[in-house]
């Protein structure tokens, strides 16, 4: 990290910060596995298709802090960058998204800082996902660190669309041609229709087998 003055000291602090954020991802991941296992035990159904997690790179963090007009320090990183630790939960159906969000909110050691529901209110591009910014306590040997984690919950179809949009924006450096934006938006509408039809079909199957 070229912006660090005392390289040894800051490298040690960066390693500790990485440890804390990785631990937060493990904590959330374990909670999700338990919830998924319990759901399988009680309902014989897994709401979670798969889980992705990542820690933002130091370069991405520095770039974001620069955008915010902040010095790229460890203190500013932990204070102002909310998505250093990110976890993405992929579900089969939209109902699973809200069910999982409610289950996480009920966890006594998870504090929900904010929620952005891009499913009920999609972004202008057509992007749909359910975002939660939460804080979870990480207990080190001598202190407790309340650590922020961004959780994104979406269906398989929403994730496929979002992945394609991200790749397109990356290739064009956000200057995406208008006709491609229009095609992407049309695809987002098809994704919404597909999710609705798949949910309806699933509910019909369950009603017939009940």
Residues that are catalytic: 150
* CA atoms within a 13 Å half-sphere pointing along the CA-CB vector of 34: 9
Where is 146: in which H helix or E strand? strand 144-155
The string of pLDDT tens digits covering residues 106-116 is: 999 999 999 99
CA distance 200 to 184: 24
Statement: residue 155 has pLDDT above 70: yes
The string of pLDDT tens digits covering residues 163-181 is: 999 999 888 877 889 999 9
4 pLDDT tier (thresholds 50, 70, 90):
very low
Statement: residue 8 has pLDDT above 50: yes
What mean pLDDT is reported for the chain? 91
The string of pLDDT tens digits covering residues 174-206 is: 788 999 999 999 999 999 999 999 999 989 988
**Which string of DSSP letters, residue by residue, matches 30-72?**
HHHHHHHHHHHHHHS--SEEEEEEEE--HHHHHHHHHHHT---
Q: What is the pLDDT of residue 7?
A: 62
Where is 127: in which H helix or E strand? none
Helices 94-105/178-209 angle, 10° precision: 80
- Structure-model confidence comparison of residues 86 and 14, the more confident one: 86
The string of pLDDT tens digits covering residues 40-87 is: 888 788 899 999 999 998 888 988 999 889 998 888 999 999 999 999
By percentage, how much of the chain surpasses pLDDT 70?
A: 95
Where is 131: in which H helix or E strand? strand 130-139
Q: What is the pLDDT of residue 6?
A: 62
3-state secondary structure of 4: coil
Q: What is the pLDDT of residue 42?
A: 86
CA distance 29 to 21: 12
- Which tokens belong to 19? 């440890």
The greatest distance separating any two alpha carbons of the chain, rounded to the nearest whole angstrom, comes to 67
φ and ψ at residue 141, rounded to 5 degrees: -60, -30
Statement: residue 1 has pLDDT above 50: no
Q: Are 90 and 154 in contact (CB under 8 A)?
A: yes
26 pLDDT tier (thresholds 50, 70, 90):
very high
What is the rounded end-to-end Cα distance, in angstroms, of the chain?
58
Q: Which residue ranges form the domains of the chain, and what is each CATH number?
A: 7-157 (3.30.460.10)
CA distance 90 to 35: 14
151 strand-pairing partners = 87, 132
Q: What is the pLDDT of residue 169?
A: 87
- DSSP alpha helices (H): ranges in the chain? 7-43, 58-68, 74-80, 94-105, 156-172, 178-209
């Amino acid at each position: 990290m070229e912006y660090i003055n005392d390289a040894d000291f800051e490298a040690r602090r960066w390693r500790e910060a990485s440890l804390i954020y990785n631990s937060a991802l493990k904590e959330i991941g374990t909670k999700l596995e338990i919830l998924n296992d319990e759901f399988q035990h009680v309902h014989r159904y897994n709401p979670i298709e798969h889980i992705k997690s990542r820690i933002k790179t130091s370069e991405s963090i520095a770039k974001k802090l620069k955008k915010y007009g902040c010095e790229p320090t460890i203190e500013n990183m932990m204070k102002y960058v909310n998505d250093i630790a990110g976890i993405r939960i992929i579900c089969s159906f939209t109902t699973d998204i809200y069910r999982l969000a409610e289950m996480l909110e009920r966890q006594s050691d998870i504090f929900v800082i904010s929620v952005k529901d891009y499913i009920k209110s999609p972004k202008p591009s057509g992007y749909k996902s359910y975002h939660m910014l939460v804080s979870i306590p990480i207990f080190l040997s001598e202190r407790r660190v309340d650590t922020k984690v961004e959780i994104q919950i979406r269906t398989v179809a929403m994730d496929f669309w979002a992945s394609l949009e991200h790749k397109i924006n990356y290739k064009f450096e956000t200057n995406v041609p208008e006709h491609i934006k229009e095609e992407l938006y049309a695809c987002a509408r098809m994704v919404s229709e597909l999710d609705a039809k798949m949910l309806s079909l699933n509910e019909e199957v369950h009603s017939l087998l009940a």
